Structure 1
Amino acid sequence: MNYKNFPMVPRVIFGRGSFNQLNDIIAPKRLNIHAPFIFLVDDVFKNNLWLTSRIPTSYDDRIIYVSAKVEPKTSQVDELVEDIILSTKERPSGIIGIGGGTLLDLAKAVSIMLTNEGETKDYQGWDLVKNPAIYHVGIPTISGTGAEVSRTTVLTGPEKKLGINSDYTPFDQVVLDSELTKNVPTEQWFYTGMDCYIHCIESLTGTYLNTFSQSYGEMALQLCEDIFLNNNLSKIEAQEKLMMASWHGGMSIVYSQVGVAHAMSYGLSYLLGVKHGIGNCIVFDHLEEFYPEGVKTFKAMKKKHNINLPKGICSDLSDKEFDIMIKISLSLEPLWENAIGKNWKKVITPKKLKELYQKM
């Protein structure tokens, strides 16, 4: 048996207000005054002085605001890398991502592409990265995706939506300050929280399950059920618990894998640009056949928080468009094998997937 030797985030700080310690954390990592820190920040914070005034810039450091309205693309990573190389005298001291899953994935990808030649799309897959990334820090401002802890960075390329899965992808440092999540709109909070919940269901019912994944997955699942079904939690408790659920949910899939909802939502995202969290919810709502208990609980959470999912998003698609989504989805073989087992191709046919997509 050949066991995988996975890297983990070596340093993490947790606590409300811990964002204020960012300067103390990164200052020792500055290579010299000409090697700046580059802060990639979700542009929803552009006029939010409460957050931006606390970003510790000095010398030639830069803040680059990035929209998270669309899923991150390989071409976007290439543009950011080129911009950074052309505007800095020396290779940066580090990349600091501040935002949700989109910004965290961009920060991971940029830090990799600053030390690896070619285009970002060439690294979509498993273990294709040759050189260690530059120092990179993840600071989530919304909880659920697990991007702060995972060894992948999910990107939409010209031909596929697939992560850069590598040992060099995880952050060197993560700052978990739940106060940064205080202004997240309810629907967005629900969709990213459900990303975490769905991770857990897929991991805990999968064929790849082992005790490592199970212990993290069960903890994350318990936290999610508490957050989304318990009436007695204060807002602060809910924020802290979701931040930890996201961390544990991300850890749960490090040593296992996700499943049907993620495999199908990649298709929706690639073709229709549906955001990851909401895409998972739209798909998961129709997966009773695979996750009966999980879907039942999901529907209860949806009802409790008055969430109305978009309907009919696939109703006007052509056969050719369905085929594109099906091809993307079927290419994610490890996800299907985890969900169904080694003989998954007998169960999951293009016809079967088309029928499922047509319900959405």
Structure 2
Amino acid sequence: MVPRVIFGKGSFDQLGEILLPKRRHAEAPFIFLVDDVFEGRELAERIPLLFNDRIIFVSADEEPKTDQVDALVEKVRDDYGELPSGIVGIGGGTLMDLAKAVSILLTNKGGASQYQGWDLVRQPSVYHVGIPTISGTGAEVSRTTVLLGPEKKLGINSDYTTFDQVVLDPDLTQGVSKEQWFYTGMDCYIHCIESLQGTYLNAFSQSYGEKALDLCKEVYLGDISTEESREKLMMASWHGGMSIAYSQVGVAHAMSYGLGFVLGVRHGIGNCLVFQHLEEFYPEGVATFKEMQKKHGIVMPKGVCSDLTDDQFHTMISVAMGMVPLWENALGRHWREVVTPDKLEGIYRKI
């Protein structure tokens, strides 16, 4: 679990005070990985740079990749003679995942793709901080950093992945587009549905998942102010991430990994594209999802998989079925009796 968290409007301004005692000395900088949408904007100017700290602006237009992590790690190693004091990620889920992955690879040998899986990391990461500027992914709280690799889309799942400090400032989520707000928030909603209906469910997961689900319904079906919505969705994201810390996600996430690997579909929209067709597995959850979609006038893309080749379908299905813990959570140990390649292809062809 994340050991330290600060929540509240304007809490970003405490960042300098938070980082100061973690600075080893003047030559050990903090590296700030920041979504490039903030380049030249007020938020970037508020980052508390000292000594030889550096901001690296990173595009979040695509899913984070293992070779992208390797390139960032090489850049930091080449530019500085020793490990930095820490890594700070500022942005959405992509920047959260990149910050976590870079902090791990700075202290572990080899490339990022070698650590895609469960508990493969051996050495503690450098100190790292997560500051989300959009709510829903739960990446700020999870022990996973999801990456597109050369052979698969899979997370680095490790006790060393989790952030050492998180700053939750609802003001930072102002300006997010309606579509992005919806798709990323639905990532949280789908987390909750999959966790609460999974075979891995326990009292810990249930307590967080139920609260996150209630908050999502308030935000997307209720009548609350924009300011209250930002605060509640940020906490829904946190609770949703905590819910899957001791359980797992399920069918939508497993199939979304396939979409992301083959077509580069962003995680949030990928979950939505799949989830709308999962009445067989989550009938009530899908019905509520469609109610939310209708209320906010969200029209999802169609024909996403219409031009795929047989080989692409095969790859997509293979990636999805490789997410064994997700399928076990969704359907139990005998999930292969229910889920077949033909069934998955049928769902993908509807997208």
TM-score (norm 1): 0.97
Aligned residues between the structures: 351
Correspondences of 1:147-296 after superposition (within 5 Å): 147-231=139-223, 233-296=224-287
User: By how many angstroms is 1:34 displaced?
Assistant: 0.5
* Aligned residue identity for 2:63: E
- The residue type equivalent to 2:15 in the other structure is L
2:85 aligned with 1:93: yes
- CA drift of 1:47 comes to 1.8
Q: One-letter code of the match for 2:37?
A: V
Tell me the alpha carbon deviations over residues 222-281 of structure 1, each in whole angstroms, 9 at most, x when there is no partner: 0000000012x1111000000000000000000000000000000000000000000000
Distance (Å, rounded) in 2 between the aligned partners of 1:262 and 1:47: 35
Cα-to-partner distance string for 1:178-225 (whole Å, 9 max, x where unaligned): 000011111000000000000000000011111110000000000000
1:88 positional shift: 1.2
Aligned partners of 1:70, 1:119: CA distance in 2, in Å? 20
Identical columns (%): 70
Say yes or no: does 1:16 pair with 2:17.
Answer: no
- The whole-number CA distance in structure 2 between the counterparts of 1:89 and 1:53 is 27
Q: Which residue of 1 aligns with 2:116?
A: 124
Q: Structure 2 CA distance, aligned partners of 1:299 and 1:165? A: 31
The letter for the 2-side match of 1:276 is: H
Aligned counterparts, 1:331-346, within 5 A: 331-346=322-337
Q: Does 1:305 align with 2:296?
A: yes
Structure 2 residue aligned with 1:47: 40
Q: Which amino acid aligns with 1:125?
A: G
Which consecutive aligned stretches of 4+ in structure 1 deviate over 4 angstroms post-superposition? none
Task: Choose which of 336, 343, 349 in structure 2 pairs with 1:352.
Answer: 343
1:89: how far off? 2.8
User: Could you tell me how far apart the structure 2 residues matched to 1:31 and 1:103 are?
Assistant: 24
For 2:350, the aligned partner's letter is K
Distance in 1 (CA, whole Å) between partners of 2:149 and 2:60 is 16
Looking at structure 1, the residues matched to 105 and 141 of structure 2 have their Cα atoms a distance apart, in angstroms, of: 19
CA distance in 2 between partners of 1:255 and 1:89 (Å): 39
The unaligned stretches of length 5 or more in structure 2 are none
Aligned residue identity for 2:312: E
Match status 1:60 vs 2:13: no
Q: Aligned with 1:153: secondary structure?
A: strand
Deviation at 1:67, TM superposition (A): 0.2
**Distance between the aligned counterparts of 2:297 and 2:196, measured in 1?**
27
Quote the RMSD (CA, aligned, Å): 0.5
- Give 2:149's aligned amino acid: G
Cα drift, residue 90 of structure 1 = 2.0
- Structure 1 counterpart of 2:132, which letter? P
For 2:159 and 2:318, locate their aligned partners in 1 and report how far apart those are by CA, in whole Å. 27
**Structure-2-length-normalised TM-score:** 1.00
- 3-state SS of 2:144 partner: coil
Measured after TM superposition, the shift of residue 342 of structure 1 is 1.1
- 1:131-150 matched pairs, under 5 angstroms: 131-150=123-142
